[in-house]
Structure 1
Amino acid sequence: MGVPPSSVSPSGNRAKEDRAVLLPPNVRGASSGSTVFDKRGAVDAFVLDNIDKALIGQLLIDGKVTNRELAQRVGISESAASVRIRKLVDDGVLVFTALIDWEAAGFEWFIVCRIRTRVRPRRDVAEDIGDLPGCEAVAIVLGSHDILGYFLAVDRAELNAIIDALSGIDGIAALDVELATETAVSASGRQLFLAVDAPPIRLPAPRIELDDLDLAVLQALVEDGRQSSRRMARQLGVSEGTVRARSARLTQAGLAHIVAMVEPVALGMAGVIASLSIRVDRRYLDSTLSALMAMPNVVFGARCVGNFDLHLTITGTDPHELMEFVGIRVQSVEGVLETDTLLFVTVLRFSPYLKRLNGLGSDHPK
């Protein structure tokens, strides 16, 4: 945990100081590195048997279930369950962490940037984009655009600073910006862990007052959401009851949610990932978004103002499945007029920690 002495906006002007900044764990994942979906690498390194998959399935339902109860559900000994879980964690297949609600953390804007490049290598441009404050994800993509970036901004001043900074990067030929008025993560999206060069987790203006102990508890939960209150209490020098009370307050306020997540490539959840921008008949906007968010291939959805009405992140086992999903299932949803698909080729930055937590327990935003 750390609180920065100051924050500087992309334009160089001093911005409001963040209340706190949490440090992302150094997670060894099967997708670590910039080339995320190279099946010649990570996928073949992990062989999950039926017991592993059963353990993961139970933990995705309840990441805080005890090893004793987990062993009973799966039909193995408690010690065997402990050993298998530790191996899954050590191999980077299974992650226990706390998701932070970006709106409850104090951000006002979620920004989707679709970028075309010229002359300069796309990777060089993408690296410069990833270095900008506020960048939560940047990827080289295949399709109508060359680079896709996701940003979070505290207020309109920071939003304008981000756009100004992007406009000044050498090699950007065209910048298409969509502002999300509503975002949601599906049930499958909350299970998918992908971390590549994750930036610090900013809490610019949390909706609840946080003291140093609250921040220490939150940092500990981000690092290991499954660790016991007793262990955290020993590390922080407070009582176990105090830790439990602070953890409950963070979750009840909607700021954090403890989850188990799985590495998408290792578990076969995603061979490929793409972004899907959709123009919709405005009469059907709400029903269209709800229908799409209920589909298992959809992990993230945003209702946008800009060139497109909706922006989705979708997964598939391979490009053929993905294109079939878009061409048949998505196109058949009432209200869908036009789609544009960008296939992720190389991910240079991706943070799994800041997500909207509304609608937990359902597959669509409330």
Structure 2
Amino acid sequence: MDKIDEAIVELLEVDGRLTHREIARTVGLSRSTAAARVQRLIASGQVIVRGAVHPAVIGRGELAHVSLTLGGPAAPIAAAISRRDDVPFLSLTTGTYGLVAEVRAGSAREIDQTITELRSLDGVLGVNTLTYVEVVRDVIGPVGDVRTDIDDVDRALLRTLQDDGRASYVDLAAAVGLSPAGARRRVVRLVESQVVRIGAVVRHSGQDRQSAMGLGVRLSGRHEQVVAALTAMKSAIFVARTVGRFDVLVTVRAFSNAQLVDSLDAVRALPGVAAVESWTHLEVVKESYAAGFVAPELGNSPRADAGRLTVSIDAEGSSE
């Protein structure tokens, strides 16, 4: 990716349904050139636009970060863990722990059961677990409390958006039995109420210019000011308060080792930060937030919005 691609990706991370015209206006390209770049990035598989549903909506509101100490090659262990539905994120890392995973489950007891099973895998010498208290920033998934109830039509829309976050309103409408205008209204409501976040996911293979580093932060006092400062950092793509060996868990992104060093030093320099441990994500093995959520079969039953007059919509970008 060049710098223009990077700028486009940053826009899509914030709003994966931006139209080509909106992207072109922001980065200074023609609409056709912006469209070609977006399509190339997505076609390459390096950038995927998906709808990430709030964990509470899929009954997996308990989250934990698990670091695994390995006694042998990481690849076969990673392959076994990646098949688990309750592990949406898994990465090969540097440092003491060869693998880090995020676990999502419906209860603390289910988290405990998963940790037991991970610890029992051949080649795993031990695990170290952080429990999430609060996810404050996430460029992929929604944070905060869900502020609306959802019905079967919403669930069908969410499942479709998980498959393709840039699906047109025409295609979304056809998939769930709504008018395009009705589909648009529902998607806007789901996004605004924190049920779903639609954004770009960048596949970190270790061969691209973009790198990611995990930071475990220990505090010397209250968390509020430190967490606010970390969340405001442009390079921070994930910030969560945790219970365990760290008080705050952070992921920062950079396009060079020098930028990673700058981010690390910036965190160390924050008042209230007592210590920072770091690890580099060498390869993201799995990053899928659709697991565990299956849309209902809608059949041919009538919908509240079905049959209404279809209004004209923007025929480009996510609406084409």
Name the TM tier (shorter chain): 0.7 to 0.9
CA distance in 2, matches of 1:320, 1:155: 41
CA distance in 2, matches of 1:170, 1:297: 36
Deviation at 1:123, TM superposition (A): 2.4
Deviation at 1:161, TM superposition (A): 1.0
Check conservation: 2:236, 2:253, Cα contact below 8 A: yes
317 and 136 in structure 1: CA distance in 2 versus 1, 3 angstrom threshold = same
Residue 110 of structure 2, aligned match among 135, 146, 158: 158
What residue in structure 2 maps to residue 221 of structure 1? 161
57 and 143 in structure 1: CA distance in 2 versus 1, 3 angstrom threshold = closer
Deviation at 1:180, TM superposition (A): 0.8
Check conservation: 2:140, 2:197, Cα contact below 8 A: no
Residue 331 of structure 1, aligned match among 259, 263, 268: 268
- Tell me whether 1:148 sits opposite 2:100 in the alignment: yes
Check conservation: 1:275, 1:342, Cα contact below 8 A: yes
2:212 is matched by which residue type in structure 1? I
- Tell me whether 1:318 sits opposite 2:256 in the alignment: yes
The aligned length equals 287
Check conservation: 2:241, 2:248, Cα contact below 8 A: yes
CA distance in 2, matches of 1:170, 1:265: 25
- Tell me whether 1:208 sits opposite 2:139 in the alignment: no
Check conservation: 1:141, 1:345, Cα contact below 8 A: yes
Deviation at 1:100, TM superposition (A): 1.7
Deviation at 1:227, TM superposition (A): 3.2
CA distance in 2, matches of 1:307, 1:319: 26
What residue in structure 1 maps to residue 282 of structure 2? 345
Deviates more, 1:52-61 or 1:237-246: 52-61
Check conservation: 1:60, 1:261, Cα contact below 8 A: yes
1:276 is matched by which residue type in structure 2? L
1:290 match: secondary structure: helix
67 and 293 in structure 1: CA distance in 2 versus 1, 3 angstrom threshold = closer
Deviation at 1:280, TM superposition (A): 0.7
What residue in structure 1 maps to residue 59 of structure 2? 106
Residue 241 of structure 2, aligned match among 281, 298, 303: 303
2:266 is matched by which residue type in structure 1? R
Deviates more, 1:124-133 or 1:289-298: 124-133
2:166 match: secondary structure: coil
Residue 212 of structure 2, aligned match among 265, 273, 276: 273
335 and 209 in structure 1: CA distance in 2 versus 1, 3 angstrom threshold = same
Check conservation: 1:105, 1:207, Cα contact below 8 A: no
1:208 match: secondary structure: coil
What residue in structure 2 maps to residue 87 of structure 1? 40
Deviation at 1:306, TM superposition (A): 1.0
207 and 63 in structure 1: CA distance in 2 versus 1, 3 angstrom threshold = closer
CA distance in 2, matches of 1:332, 1:93: 33
What residue in structure 2 maps to residue 182 of structure 1? 134
71 and 111 in structure 1: CA distance in 2 versus 1, 3 angstrom threshold = closer
Aligned pairs for 1:33-52 (under 5 A) are: 46=1, 48=2, 50=4
Across the aligned residues of Structure 1 and Structure 2, the Cα RMSD in angstroms comes to 3.4
Alpha-carbon deviations, 1:174-225, whole Å to 9, x = none?
Answer: 2211101011325xx349xxxxxxxxxxxxx9972421x3232222223333
Deviation at 1:57, TM superposition (A): 6.2
Deviation at 1:152, TM superposition (A): 0.7
343 and 209 in structure 1: CA distance in 2 versus 1, 3 angstrom threshold = same
Alpha-carbon deviations, 1:99-120, whole Å to 9, x = none?
Answer: 32223433232111122122x3
Calculate the TM-score normalised by the size of structure 1.
0.66
1:113 match: secondary structure: strand
Residue 245 of structure 1, aligned match among 175, 179, 185: 185
